[in-house]
Structure 1
Amino acid sequence: MQPLTHAVKTARYRKIDRRFLSLSAKAGDVAGIRDAARGRDVLLTIAFGDAQCLDLQVRLARRLVRHDLHIVADNSISEAAADENRQLCAARGVPYVRLPANPWTVKNPSRSHGAALNWMWRNILKPAAPAAFGFLDQDLFPTQPCDPFAPLQDVAFYGDLRRAGARWYLWAGYCFFRFDAVSHKPLDFGLDWFAGLDTGGANWEVLYRDVDPNALPQRPITAFAVLPGFELRQAYCEWRGSWLHEVGLDGDLSLKAKKREAVLRLLEPALQDSPRSARQ
Protein backbone atom coordinates (compact mmCIF):
# COMPACT_ATOMS: atom_id res chain seq x y z
CA MET A 1 0.00 0.00 0.00
CA GLN A 2 2.98 2.31 0.39
CA PRO A 3 3.14 3.53 -3.24
CA LEU A 4 -0.59 4.35 -3.12
CA THR A 5 -0.19 6.22 0.16
CA HIS A 6 2.76 8.18 -1.26
CA ALA A 7 0.76 9.07 -4.38
CA VAL A 8 -2.19 10.35 -2.36
CA LYS A 9 0.03 12.43 -0.09
CA THR A 10 1.98 13.82 -3.03
CA ALA A 11 -1.24 14.91 -4.76
CA ARG A 12 -2.36 16.65 -1.56
CA TYR A 13 1.00 18.38 -1.13
CA ARG A 14 0.94 19.62 -4.73
CA LYS A 15 -2.56 21.02 -4.31
CA ILE A 16 -1.42 23.01 -1.28
CA ASP A 17 1.68 24.20 -3.16
CA ARG A 18 -0.35 25.32 -6.20
CA ARG A 19 -2.55 27.48 -3.99
CA PHE A 20 0.50 29.04 -2.32
CA LEU A 21 2.11 29.81 -5.70
CA SER A 22 -1.03 31.64 -6.80
CA LEU A 23 -0.98 34.06 -3.84
CA SER A 24 0.33 37.61 -4.15
CA ALA A 25 3.34 38.87 -2.27
CA LYS A 26 2.59 40.65 1.01
CA ALA A 27 5.09 43.39 0.20
CA GLY A 28 7.60 44.32 -2.46
CA ASP A 29 7.64 45.79 -5.96
CA VAL A 30 7.30 42.53 -7.87
CA ALA A 31 6.98 44.16 -11.30
CA GLY A 32 9.95 46.43 -10.64
CA ILE A 33 12.11 43.54 -9.44
CA ARG A 34 11.24 41.55 -12.56
CA ASP A 35 12.34 44.47 -14.72
CA ALA A 36 15.58 44.85 -12.76
CA ALA A 37 16.37 41.12 -13.08
CA ARG A 38 15.78 40.81 -16.82
CA GLY A 39 18.89 39.61 -18.65
CA ARG A 40 21.11 39.87 -15.56
CA ASP A 41 22.98 37.58 -13.15
CA VAL A 42 20.78 37.33 -10.07
CA LEU A 43 21.49 36.12 -6.53
CA LEU A 44 18.43 35.16 -4.51
CA THR A 45 18.35 34.59 -0.75
CA ILE A 46 15.43 33.15 1.19
CA ALA A 47 15.41 35.07 4.48
CA PHE A 48 14.03 33.50 7.61
CA GLY A 49 13.82 35.61 10.74
CA ASP A 50 17.47 36.54 11.39
CA ALA A 51 18.23 40.11 10.34
CA GLN A 52 21.81 40.02 11.62
CA CYS A 53 22.56 36.92 9.57
CA LEU A 54 20.96 38.43 6.47
CA ASP A 55 22.87 41.68 6.91
CA LEU A 56 26.18 39.82 7.07
CA GLN A 57 25.47 38.01 3.84
CA VAL A 58 24.23 41.11 2.02
CA ARG A 59 27.32 43.09 3.01
CA LEU A 60 29.76 40.32 2.10
CA ALA A 61 28.04 39.46 -1.18
CA ARG A 62 28.14 43.12 -2.20
CA ARG A 63 31.86 43.32 -1.48
CA LEU A 64 33.01 39.92 -2.68
CA VAL A 65 30.60 38.23 -5.08
CA ARG A 66 30.39 39.20 -8.75
CA HIS A 67 26.69 39.65 -9.53
CA ASP A 68 24.24 42.14 -10.99
CA LEU A 69 21.32 41.94 -8.57
CA HIS A 70 20.73 40.43 -5.13
CA ILE A 71 17.08 39.77 -4.23
CA VAL A 72 15.82 38.87 -0.77
CA ALA A 73 12.63 36.82 -0.46
CA ASP A 74 11.35 36.90 3.11
CA ASN A 75 9.88 33.62 4.41
CA SER A 76 9.92 34.65 8.09
CA ILE A 77 7.16 33.48 10.40
CA SER A 78 6.67 36.68 12.41
CA GLU A 79 5.81 40.06 10.98
CA ALA A 80 8.22 41.69 13.43
CA ALA A 81 11.13 39.67 11.99
CA ALA A 82 9.96 40.42 8.46
CA ASP A 83 9.83 44.13 9.24
CA GLU A 84 13.43 44.02 10.47
CA ASN A 85 14.49 42.32 7.23
CA ARG A 86 12.52 44.82 5.15
CA GLN A 87 14.15 47.80 6.87
CA LEU A 88 17.58 46.22 6.47
CA CYS A 89 17.05 45.68 2.74
CA ALA A 90 15.78 49.23 2.32
CA ALA A 91 18.87 50.58 4.09
CA ARG A 92 21.20 48.42 1.99
CA GLY A 93 19.40 49.06 -1.30
CA VAL A 94 18.50 45.39 -1.82
CA PRO A 95 15.24 44.43 -3.59
CA TYR A 96 12.86 42.83 -1.08
CA VAL A 97 9.80 40.60 -1.42
CA ARG A 98 7.67 39.55 1.55
CA LEU A 99 6.34 36.14 0.56
CA PRO A 100 2.72 35.19 1.23
CA ALA A 101 1.95 33.09 4.32
CA ASN A 102 3.69 29.78 3.74
CA PRO A 103 1.51 26.75 4.61
CA TRP A 104 4.53 24.58 5.43
CA THR A 105 6.62 26.84 7.66
CA VAL A 106 5.55 25.44 11.03
CA LYS A 107 4.91 21.89 9.79
CA ASN A 108 7.99 21.22 7.67
CA PRO A 109 10.91 23.69 7.22
CA SER A 110 12.24 21.84 4.15
CA ARG A 111 8.89 22.01 2.37
CA SER A 112 8.58 25.65 3.43
CA HIS A 113 11.96 26.49 1.87
CA GLY A 114 11.13 24.61 -1.32
CA ALA A 115 7.77 26.36 -1.62
CA ALA A 116 9.50 29.73 -1.16
CA LEU A 117 11.97 28.93 -3.95
CA ASN A 118 9.15 27.80 -6.22
CA TRP A 119 7.18 30.99 -5.52
CA MET A 120 10.15 33.10 -6.52
CA TRP A 121 10.78 30.97 -9.62
CA ARG A 122 7.15 31.14 -10.73
CA ASN A 123 6.43 34.78 -9.89
CA ILE A 124 9.77 36.57 -10.27
CA LEU A 125 12.51 34.67 -12.07
CA LYS A 126 10.67 32.88 -14.85
CA PRO A 127 8.74 35.96 -16.06
CA ALA A 128 11.86 38.13 -15.64
CA ALA A 129 14.12 35.89 -17.77
CA PRO A 130 17.47 36.70 -16.11
CA ALA A 131 20.68 35.60 -17.78
CA ALA A 132 21.36 33.32 -14.81
CA PHE A 133 20.27 32.92 -11.20
CA GLY A 134 21.58 31.34 -8.02
CA PHE A 135 20.00 30.44 -4.69
CA LEU A 136 21.75 31.05 -1.37
CA ASP A 137 20.97 30.03 2.20
CA GLN A 138 20.98 33.16 4.35
CA ASP A 139 23.64 31.73 6.70
CA LEU A 140 26.18 31.14 3.91
CA PHE A 141 28.90 33.80 3.78
CA PRO A 142 31.59 34.47 1.14
CA THR A 143 35.01 35.29 2.55
CA GLN A 144 37.03 35.82 -0.65
CA PRO A 145 36.32 37.46 -4.03
CA CYS A 146 34.51 35.05 -6.34
CA ASP A 147 32.32 34.79 -9.44
CA PRO A 148 29.80 31.99 -8.91
CA PHE A 149 28.29 32.61 -12.35
CA ALA A 150 31.52 31.93 -14.26
CA PRO A 151 31.11 28.11 -14.35
CA LEU A 152 27.81 28.57 -16.21
CA GLN A 153 29.82 29.36 -19.32
CA ASP A 154 30.57 25.62 -19.51
CA VAL A 155 27.61 23.93 -17.78
CA ALA A 156 23.87 24.59 -17.60
CA PHE A 157 23.80 24.39 -13.81
CA TYR A 158 26.00 23.46 -10.87
CA GLY A 159 26.26 23.71 -7.10
CA ASP A 160 26.99 21.63 -4.03
CA LEU A 161 26.00 18.02 -4.65
CA ARG A 162 23.87 15.93 -2.36
CA ARG A 163 23.20 12.23 -2.94
CA ALA A 164 20.42 9.84 -1.97
CA GLY A 165 21.26 6.34 -3.11
CA ALA A 166 21.61 6.35 -6.89
CA ARG A 167 20.03 9.80 -7.14
CA TRP A 168 21.63 13.20 -6.64
CA TYR A 169 20.59 16.84 -6.59
CA LEU A 170 21.96 20.31 -5.90
CA TRP A 171 21.79 21.65 -2.36
CA ALA A 172 19.25 24.47 -2.30
CA GLY A 173 21.64 26.65 -0.27
CA TYR A 174 24.13 27.04 -3.14
CA CYS A 175 23.02 26.25 -6.69
CA PHE A 176 23.28 28.22 -9.94
CA PHE A 177 21.40 27.92 -13.23
CA ARG A 178 21.70 29.37 -16.71
CA PHE A 179 18.19 30.55 -17.51
CA ASP A 180 18.12 29.63 -21.20
CA ALA A 181 19.10 26.05 -20.35
CA VAL A 182 16.37 25.41 -17.77
CA SER A 183 13.51 27.84 -18.41
CA HIS A 184 11.57 25.44 -20.66
CA LYS A 185 11.55 22.66 -18.05
CA PRO A 186 8.83 22.14 -15.38
CA LEU A 187 11.17 22.99 -12.53
CA ASP A 188 10.31 22.11 -8.94
CA PHE A 189 12.72 23.26 -6.24
CA GLY A 190 10.79 21.41 -3.57
CA LEU A 191 11.63 18.06 -2.06
CA ASP A 192 10.79 14.45 -2.90
CA TRP A 193 10.87 13.10 0.61
CA PHE A 194 9.59 9.64 -0.37
CA ALA A 195 12.67 9.24 -2.60
CA GLY A 196 14.99 10.60 0.11
CA LEU A 197 15.57 13.92 -1.70
CA ASP A 198 15.52 17.12 0.38
CA THR A 199 14.82 20.68 -0.85
CA GLY A 200 15.75 20.95 -4.54
CA GLY A 201 15.53 17.20 -5.06
CA ALA A 202 12.19 17.29 -6.87
CA ASN A 203 14.15 18.43 -9.94
CA TRP A 204 15.68 14.94 -10.24
CA GLU A 205 13.34 13.75 -12.99
CA VAL A 206 13.27 16.95 -15.05
CA LEU A 207 16.83 18.23 -14.64
CA TYR A 208 19.38 15.95 -13.02
CA ARG A 209 18.52 12.39 -14.02
CA ASP A 210 20.40 12.34 -17.34
CA VAL A 211 23.40 14.44 -16.26
CA ASP A 212 26.67 13.00 -14.95
CA PRO A 213 27.27 14.73 -11.59
CA ASN A 214 31.01 14.16 -11.97
CA ALA A 215 30.97 16.55 -14.92
CA LEU A 216 29.87 19.47 -12.73
CA PRO A 217 32.31 21.81 -10.94
CA GLN A 218 32.72 21.02 -7.26
CA ARG A 219 34.30 22.67 -4.25
CA PRO A 220 35.61 21.05 -1.04
CA ILE A 221 33.25 20.89 1.93
CA THR A 222 34.76 20.58 5.39
CA ALA A 223 32.80 20.32 8.63
CA PHE A 224 34.30 21.74 11.83
CA ALA A 225 33.35 22.74 15.36
CA VAL A 226 33.46 26.54 15.45
CA LEU A 227 33.76 26.61 19.27
CA PRO A 228 37.02 25.23 20.71
CA GLY A 229 36.52 22.40 23.18
CA PHE A 230 33.13 21.38 21.84
CA GLU A 231 32.23 18.35 19.76
CA LEU A 232 31.36 18.72 16.09
CA ARG A 233 27.71 17.92 16.70
CA GLN A 234 27.47 20.71 19.28
CA ALA A 235 28.97 23.60 17.29
CA TYR A 236 28.67 22.43 13.72
CA CYS A 237 29.82 24.72 10.89
CA GLU A 238 31.16 24.14 7.39
CA TRP A 239 33.67 25.58 5.01
CA ARG A 240 32.22 25.24 1.51
CA GLY A 241 35.17 26.30 -0.57
CA SER A 242 35.90 29.83 0.65
CA TRP A 243 32.30 30.28 1.87
CA LEU A 244 31.50 29.84 5.56
CA HIS A 245 28.23 28.07 6.36
CA GLU A 246 26.99 28.73 9.86
CA VAL A 247 24.41 25.89 9.68
CA GLY A 248 22.20 27.76 12.08
CA LEU A 249 19.60 25.00 12.49
CA ASP A 250 22.18 22.37 13.44
CA GLY A 251 24.14 21.77 16.62
CA ASP A 252 23.30 22.57 20.25
CA LEU A 253 20.80 25.45 20.09
CA SER A 254 21.76 26.54 23.62
CA LEU A 255 25.14 27.52 22.10
CA LYS A 256 23.59 29.58 19.30
CA ALA A 257 24.74 32.98 20.64
CA LYS A 258 28.29 31.79 21.27
CA LYS A 259 28.36 30.14 17.87
CA ARG A 260 27.31 33.42 16.20
CA GLU A 261 30.08 35.28 18.06
CA ALA A 262 32.62 32.76 16.78
CA VAL A 263 31.30 33.09 13.23
CA LEU A 264 31.55 36.87 13.46
CA ARG A 265 35.20 36.57 14.48
CA LEU A 266 35.90 34.38 11.44
CA LEU A 267 34.12 36.85 9.15
CA GLU A 268 35.70 40.01 10.57
CA PRO A 269 38.68 40.10 8.14
CA ALA A 270 36.36 39.81 5.15
CA LEU A 271 33.99 42.45 6.51
CA GLN A 272 36.84 44.90 7.14
CA ASP A 273 39.25 44.37 4.28
CA SER A 274 37.44 42.91 1.28
CA PRO A 275 37.11 44.80 -2.04
CA ARG A 276 33.76 45.70 -3.51
CA SER A 277 32.20 43.41 -6.08
CA ALA A 278 33.31 44.15 -9.63
CA ARG A 279 29.77 44.47 -10.96
CA GLN A 280 26.48 45.11 -9.14
Structure 2
Amino acid sequence: MPKALREYDWRQWLRLQPLLHALKTARYQRIDRSFVRQPAKGGDIRDIRAAARGRHVLLTVAFGDAQCLELQLRLTGELVRRDLHIVADNSISDASADENRRVCADHGAAYVRLPANPWTVKNPSRSHGAALNWMWHNVLKPAAPAAFGFLDQDLFPTRPCDPFEPLEATAFYGDLRWAGARWYLWAGYCFFRFDAVGREPLDFGLDWFAGLDTGGANWEVLYRDADPNTVPQRPITAFAALPGIEFRQAYCEWRGSWLHEVGLDGNRSLKAKKREAVLRLLAPALEVSARSARQRN
Protein backbone atom coordinates (compact mmCIF):
# COMPACT_ATOMS: atom_id res chain seq x y z
CA MET A 1 0.00 0.00 0.00
CA PRO A 2 1.16 3.60 -0.49
CA LYS A 3 2.58 5.36 2.55
CA ALA A 4 0.14 6.73 5.14
CA LEU A 5 -1.65 9.97 4.28
CA ARG A 6 -0.01 11.75 7.23
CA GLU A 7 3.39 11.16 5.61
CA TYR A 8 2.62 13.50 2.71
CA ASP A 9 3.46 17.16 3.16
CA TRP A 10 1.23 20.02 1.99
CA ARG A 11 3.19 20.47 -1.26
CA GLN A 12 2.53 16.84 -2.16
CA TRP A 13 -1.14 17.28 -1.29
CA LEU A 14 -1.32 20.29 -3.62
CA ARG A 15 0.02 18.07 -6.42
CA LEU A 16 -2.57 15.41 -5.51
CA GLN A 17 0.20 12.88 -4.94
CA PRO A 18 -1.73 10.78 -2.38
CA LEU A 19 -4.52 10.22 -4.91
CA LEU A 20 -2.13 9.61 -7.82
CA HIS A 21 -0.05 7.16 -5.78
CA ALA A 22 -3.16 5.27 -4.69
CA LEU A 23 -4.43 5.01 -8.27
CA LYS A 24 -1.06 3.89 -9.62
CA THR A 25 -0.65 1.35 -6.84
CA ALA A 26 -4.06 -0.11 -7.61
CA ARG A 27 -3.10 -0.35 -11.29
CA TYR A 28 0.20 -2.06 -10.50
CA GLN A 29 -1.52 -4.55 -8.23
CA ARG A 30 -4.13 -5.33 -10.88
CA ILE A 31 -1.39 -6.07 -13.44
CA ASP A 32 0.49 -8.24 -10.94
CA ARG A 33 -2.62 -10.25 -10.05
CA SER A 34 -3.26 -10.92 -13.73
CA PHE A 35 0.34 -12.08 -14.21
CA VAL A 36 0.19 -14.44 -11.22
CA ARG A 37 -2.86 -16.16 -12.76
CA GLN A 38 -1.01 -16.96 -16.00
CA PRO A 39 0.23 -20.56 -16.49
CA ALA A 40 3.92 -21.38 -16.63
CA LYS A 41 5.54 -21.68 -20.04
CA GLY A 42 7.64 -24.62 -18.97
CA GLY A 43 8.35 -26.96 -16.07
CA ASP A 44 6.30 -29.58 -14.26
CA ILE A 45 4.74 -27.51 -11.49
CA ARG A 46 3.05 -30.47 -9.85
CA ASP A 47 6.29 -32.44 -9.56
CA ILE A 48 8.18 -29.42 -8.26
CA ARG A 49 5.58 -28.79 -5.59
CA ALA A 50 5.86 -32.42 -4.48
CA ALA A 51 9.66 -32.20 -4.39
CA ALA A 52 9.52 -28.99 -2.32
CA ARG A 53 6.99 -30.13 0.27
CA GLY A 54 8.43 -30.07 3.78
CA ARG A 55 11.96 -29.35 2.57
CA HIS A 56 14.53 -26.55 2.51
CA VAL A 57 14.22 -24.79 -0.82
CA LEU A 58 16.44 -22.24 -2.57
CA LEU A 59 14.89 -20.20 -5.36
CA THR A 60 16.70 -18.13 -8.00
CA VAL A 61 15.05 -15.88 -10.57
CA ALA A 62 17.14 -16.24 -13.75
CA PHE A 63 17.16 -14.01 -16.80
CA GLY A 64 19.30 -14.04 -19.92
CA ASP A 65 22.68 -15.02 -18.44
CA ALA A 66 23.26 -18.77 -18.53
CA GLN A 67 26.92 -18.41 -17.51
CA CYS A 68 25.93 -16.58 -14.36
CA LEU A 69 23.29 -19.20 -13.52
CA GLU A 70 25.74 -22.04 -14.18
CA LEU A 71 28.29 -20.51 -11.81
CA GLN A 72 25.74 -20.19 -9.05
CA LEU A 73 24.37 -23.71 -9.44
CA ARG A 74 27.88 -25.21 -9.49
CA LEU A 75 28.75 -23.46 -6.26
CA THR A 76 25.48 -23.87 -4.37
CA GLY A 77 25.47 -27.53 -5.36
CA GLU A 78 28.74 -28.13 -3.52
CA LEU A 79 28.82 -25.50 -0.81
CA VAL A 80 25.27 -24.72 0.32
CA ARG A 81 23.10 -27.00 2.41
CA ARG A 82 19.67 -27.26 0.76
CA ASP A 83 17.26 -29.97 -0.33
CA LEU A 84 16.10 -28.43 -3.58
CA HIS A 85 17.12 -25.53 -5.79
CA ILE A 86 14.41 -24.12 -8.05
CA VAL A 87 15.16 -21.77 -10.93
CA ALA A 88 12.35 -19.46 -12.06
CA ASP A 89 13.28 -18.38 -15.57
CA ASN A 90 12.25 -14.78 -16.25
CA SER A 91 14.07 -14.63 -19.62
CA ILE A 92 12.47 -12.91 -22.57
CA SER A 93 13.90 -14.95 -25.45
CA ASP A 94 13.36 -18.64 -26.13
CA ALA A 95 17.08 -19.04 -26.82
CA SER A 96 18.02 -17.75 -23.35
CA ALA A 97 15.35 -19.93 -21.75
CA ASP A 98 16.68 -23.01 -23.57
CA GLU A 99 20.19 -22.30 -22.28
CA ASN A 100 18.96 -21.88 -18.72
CA ARG A 101 16.93 -25.08 -18.97
CA ARG A 102 20.02 -27.02 -20.06
CA VAL A 103 22.07 -25.56 -17.21
CA CYS A 104 19.40 -26.61 -14.71
CA ALA A 105 19.30 -30.13 -16.15
CA ASP A 106 23.10 -30.39 -15.91
CA HIS A 107 23.08 -29.38 -12.24
CA GLY A 108 19.94 -31.09 -10.99
CA ALA A 109 17.96 -27.90 -10.37
CA ALA A 110 14.20 -27.77 -10.83
CA TYR A 111 13.21 -25.50 -13.71
CA VAL A 112 10.15 -23.29 -14.22
CA ARG A 113 9.77 -20.96 -17.17
CA LEU A 114 7.58 -18.09 -16.07
CA PRO A 115 4.85 -16.58 -18.25
CA ALA A 116 5.67 -13.38 -20.14
CA ASN A 117 6.36 -10.80 -17.45
CA PRO A 118 4.62 -7.45 -18.06
CA TRP A 119 7.38 -5.51 -16.27
CA THR A 120 10.56 -7.02 -17.69
CA VAL A 121 11.32 -4.30 -20.24
CA LYS A 122 9.75 -1.45 -18.27
CA ASN A 123 11.06 -1.98 -14.75
CA PRO A 124 13.53 -4.72 -13.66
CA SER A 125 12.66 -4.34 -9.98
CA ARG A 126 8.94 -4.80 -10.61
CA SER A 127 9.73 -7.70 -12.94
CA HIS A 128 11.75 -9.43 -10.23
CA GLY A 129 9.06 -8.85 -7.62
CA ALA A 130 6.34 -10.16 -9.93
CA ALA A 131 8.45 -13.27 -10.62
CA LEU A 132 8.84 -13.94 -6.90
CA ASN A 133 5.13 -13.47 -6.34
CA TRP A 134 4.30 -15.87 -9.19
CA MET A 135 6.52 -18.52 -7.59
CA TRP A 136 5.07 -17.86 -4.14
CA HIS A 137 1.45 -18.26 -5.22
CA ASN A 138 1.91 -21.06 -7.74
CA VAL A 139 4.71 -23.17 -6.27
CA LEU A 140 5.91 -22.34 -2.75
CA LYS A 141 2.64 -21.64 -0.96
CA PRO A 142 0.87 -24.75 -2.33
CA ALA A 143 3.98 -26.86 -1.65
CA ALA A 144 4.42 -25.77 1.98
CA PRO A 145 8.20 -26.28 2.23
CA ALA A 146 9.82 -26.31 5.67
CA ALA A 147 11.68 -23.14 4.68
CA PHE A 148 12.57 -21.21 1.55
CA GLY A 149 15.09 -18.60 0.52
CA PHE A 150 15.59 -16.29 -2.45
CA LEU A 151 18.94 -15.69 -4.14
CA ASP A 152 19.95 -13.12 -6.73
CA GLN A 153 21.24 -14.83 -9.86
CA ASP A 154 24.64 -13.15 -9.51
CA LEU A 155 25.24 -14.06 -5.86
CA PHE A 156 27.85 -16.79 -5.36
CA PRO A 157 28.87 -18.74 -2.23
CA THR A 158 32.60 -19.24 -1.74
CA ARG A 159 32.61 -21.35 1.45
CA PRO A 160 30.45 -24.16 2.84
CA CYS A 161 27.38 -22.75 4.59
CA ASP A 162 23.87 -23.51 5.80
CA PRO A 163 21.73 -20.44 5.13
CA PHE A 164 18.72 -22.11 6.74
CA GLU A 165 20.34 -22.56 10.15
CA PRO A 166 19.40 -19.09 11.49
CA LEU A 167 15.73 -19.96 10.93
CA GLU A 168 15.91 -22.27 13.93
CA ALA A 169 15.79 -19.13 16.09
CA THR A 170 13.89 -16.65 13.91
CA ALA A 171 10.96 -16.58 11.48
CA PHE A 172 12.91 -14.81 8.74
CA TYR A 173 16.21 -13.13 8.10
CA GLY A 174 18.42 -11.76 5.35
CA ASP A 175 20.30 -8.63 4.38
CA LEU A 176 18.52 -5.55 5.72
CA ARG A 177 17.75 -2.48 3.66
CA TRP A 178 16.31 0.76 4.97
CA ALA A 179 13.98 3.36 3.48
CA GLY A 180 13.64 6.09 6.07
CA ALA A 181 12.08 4.50 9.15
CA ARG A 182 11.01 1.41 7.18
CA TRP A 183 13.17 -1.65 6.63
CA TYR A 184 12.91 -4.83 4.63
CA LEU A 185 14.96 -7.81 3.49
CA TRP A 186 16.90 -7.53 0.25
CA ALA A 187 15.24 -9.84 -2.28
CA GLY A 188 18.65 -11.18 -3.34
CA TYR A 189 19.25 -12.94 -0.03
CA CYS A 190 16.33 -13.59 2.30
CA PHE A 191 15.06 -16.71 4.07
CA PHE A 192 11.72 -17.58 5.64
CA ARG A 193 10.35 -20.36 7.83
CA PHE A 194 7.12 -21.43 6.19
CA ASP A 195 5.20 -22.21 9.37
CA ALA A 196 5.77 -18.61 10.50
CA VAL A 197 4.84 -16.80 7.27
CA GLY A 198 2.84 -19.22 5.14
CA ARG A 199 -0.58 -17.90 6.15
CA GLU A 200 0.30 -14.24 5.68
CA PRO A 201 -0.72 -12.29 2.53
CA LEU A 202 2.87 -12.01 1.39
CA ASP A 203 3.90 -9.65 -1.40
CA PHE A 204 7.50 -9.77 -2.58
CA GLY A 205 7.00 -6.81 -4.89
CA LEU A 206 8.00 -3.23 -4.21
CA ASP A 207 6.30 -0.18 -2.72
CA TRP A 208 8.16 2.52 -4.59
CA PHE A 209 6.10 5.42 -3.26
CA ALA A 210 7.27 4.48 0.24
CA GLY A 211 10.86 4.05 -0.99
CA LEU A 212 10.79 0.25 -0.74
CA ASP A 213 12.43 -1.81 -3.49
CA THR A 214 11.75 -5.47 -4.37
CA GLY A 215 10.58 -7.36 -1.28
CA GLY A 216 9.61 -4.16 0.50
CA ALA A 217 5.87 -4.62 -0.02
CA ASN A 218 6.03 -7.06 2.91
CA TRP A 219 6.62 -4.13 5.26
CA GLU A 220 3.05 -4.07 6.58
CA VAL A 221 2.75 -7.87 6.68
CA LEU A 222 6.08 -8.98 8.16
CA TYR A 223 8.50 -6.25 9.09
CA ARG A 224 6.56 -3.40 10.64
CA ASP A 225 6.08 -5.13 13.99
CA ALA A 226 9.42 -6.95 14.03
CA ASP A 227 12.60 -5.65 15.66
CA PRO A 228 15.33 -5.32 12.99
CA ASN A 229 17.95 -5.67 15.72
CA THR A 230 16.92 -9.31 16.16
CA VAL A 231 17.52 -10.15 12.48
CA PRO A 232 20.86 -11.98 12.00
CA GLN A 233 23.23 -9.97 9.83
CA ARG A 234 26.49 -10.49 7.95
CA PRO A 235 29.13 -7.92 6.95
CA ILE A 236 28.64 -6.29 3.54
CA THR A 237 31.60 -4.64 1.82
CA ALA A 238 31.62 -3.05 -1.63
CA PHE A 239 34.88 -3.03 -3.56
CA ALA A 240 36.21 -1.97 -6.96
CA ALA A 241 36.16 -4.94 -9.32
CA LEU A 242 38.34 -3.23 -11.94
CA PRO A 243 41.34 -1.21 -10.74
CA GLY A 244 41.66 2.15 -12.45
CA ILE A 245 37.91 2.34 -13.15
CA GLU A 246 35.71 4.75 -11.20
CA PHE A 247 34.18 2.78 -8.34
CA ARG A 248 30.50 3.06 -9.27
CA GLN A 249 31.24 2.03 -12.84
CA ALA A 250 32.26 -1.52 -11.89
CA TYR A 251 31.98 -2.69 -8.31
CA CYS A 252 31.13 -5.92 -6.52
CA GLU A 253 30.18 -6.78 -2.95
CA TRP A 254 31.30 -9.29 -0.38
CA ARG A 255 28.20 -10.27 1.56
CA GLY A 256 29.69 -12.44 4.25
CA SER A 257 31.46 -15.19 2.33
CA TRP A 258 29.16 -14.71 -0.69
CA LEU A 259 30.33 -12.68 -3.69
CA HIS A 260 27.73 -10.42 -5.33
CA GLU A 261 28.56 -9.36 -8.86
CA VAL A 262 26.02 -6.49 -8.79
CA GLY A 263 25.40 -7.15 -12.46
CA LEU A 264 22.52 -4.68 -12.92
CA ASP A 265 24.49 -1.70 -11.70
CA GLY A 266 27.44 0.20 -13.13
CA ASN A 267 28.64 0.59 -16.71
CA ARG A 268 27.16 -2.19 -18.86
CA SER A 269 29.99 -1.84 -21.41
CA LEU A 270 32.36 -3.16 -18.72
CA LYS A 271 30.30 -6.30 -18.09
CA ALA A 272 32.70 -8.72 -19.81
CA LYS A 273 35.77 -7.38 -17.97
CA LYS A 274 33.87 -7.40 -14.70
CA ARG A 275 32.82 -11.03 -15.25
CA GLU A 276 36.49 -11.94 -15.82
CA ALA A 277 37.34 -10.34 -12.48
CA VAL A 278 34.51 -12.25 -10.78
CA LEU A 279 35.73 -15.53 -12.27
CA ARG A 280 39.21 -14.89 -10.87
CA LEU A 281 37.76 -14.29 -7.42
CA LEU A 282 35.64 -17.43 -7.66
CA ALA A 283 38.45 -19.63 -8.99
CA PRO A 284 39.36 -21.23 -5.61
CA ALA A 285 35.71 -22.11 -4.83
CA LEU A 286 35.17 -23.41 -8.37
CA GLU A 287 38.24 -25.62 -8.00
CA VAL A 288 36.83 -27.09 -4.80
CA SER A 289 33.58 -27.73 -6.63
CA ALA A 290 35.36 -29.40 -9.55
CA ARG A 291 37.47 -31.53 -7.21
CA SER A 292 34.39 -32.73 -5.33
CA ALA A 293 32.68 -33.61 -8.60
CA ARG A 294 35.72 -35.63 -9.72
CA GLN A 295 35.81 -37.52 -6.43
CA ARG A 296 32.14 -38.47 -6.77
CA ASN A 297 32.71 -39.74 -10.29
Which TM bucket (shorter chain)?
A: over 0.9
Check if 1:120 corresponds to 2:149.
no
Aligned residue number for residue 27 of structure 2: 12
Match of 1:239 in 2: 254
Distance between the aligned counterparts of 1:248 and 1:40, measured in 2?
30
Give runs of ≥4 in structure 1 deviating > 6 Å.
none
Shift of 1:232: 1.3
Task: Work out whether residues 206 and 217 of structure 2, in 8 Å CA contact, stay in contact via their aligned partners in 1.
Answer: yes
| Pairing partner for 1:144 from 143, 159, 165 | 159
Does 2:92 match 1:77? yes
Q: Which residue of 1 aligns with 2:56?
A: 41
Q: Distance in 2 between matches of 1:276 and 1:170?
A: 33
Deviations 1:177-234 (A, max 9, x none): 0000001100000000000000000000010000010111000000001112222112
Which residue does 1:204 correspond to in 2?
A: 219
* Partner Cα separation in structure 1 for residue 244 and residue 162 of structure 2: 35
Note the C-alpha offset of 1:93: 1.8
Q: Which residue of 1 aligns with 2:79?
A: 64
Q: How many residues align?
A: 277
Q: Deviations over 1:143-166 (max 9, x none)?
A: 000000000000000000000000
Aligned to 1:135: 150
Pairing partner for 2:240 from 201, 225, 232: 225
Percent identical among aligned pairs is 80
Q: Offset at 1:88?
A: 1.2
Aligned mates of 1:93, 1:145 — CA distance in 2: 19
Q: What is the CA–CA distance in structure 2 between the aligned matches of 1:29 and 1:241, rounded to whole Å?
A: 34
- Given that 1:64 and 1:276 are in contact with CA atoms closer than 8 Å, whether structure 2 keeps it comes out as no
Cα distance, 1:276 vs. partner?
Answer: 5.9
Q: Distance in 1 between the 2:74 and 2:273 partners?
A: 21
Counterpart amino acid of residue 230 in structure 1: I
Provide Cα deviations, 1:66-125, integer angstroms capped at 9, x if missing partner: 000000000011111111101111122211000000001011110000000000000000
Q: 1:169 to 1:229 in 2, by over 3 A?
A: same
Q: Which residue matches 2:271?
A: 256
Report the residue type matching 1:93 in the other structure: G
| TM-score normalised by the chain length of structure 2 | 0.92
CA distance in 2, matches of 1:129, 1:276: 32
The counterpart of 1:25, out of the listed 24, 34, 40, is 40
- 2:180 aligns to what? 165
Q: Distance in 2 between matches of 1:132 and 1:163?
A: 24
Give the aligned CA root-mean-square deviation in angstroms: 1.1
Tell me which of the two structures has the higher relative contact order, counting C-alpha pairs closer than 8 angstroms and 6 or more residues apart.
1
Residues 77 and 107, structure 2, Cα contact 8 Å, conserved in 1: no
Unmatched tracts of structure 1, length 5 or more: none
Q: Which residue of structure 1 lines up, in the alignment, with residue 113 of structure 2?
A: 98
Query: SS in structure 2 opposite 1:233?
Result: helix
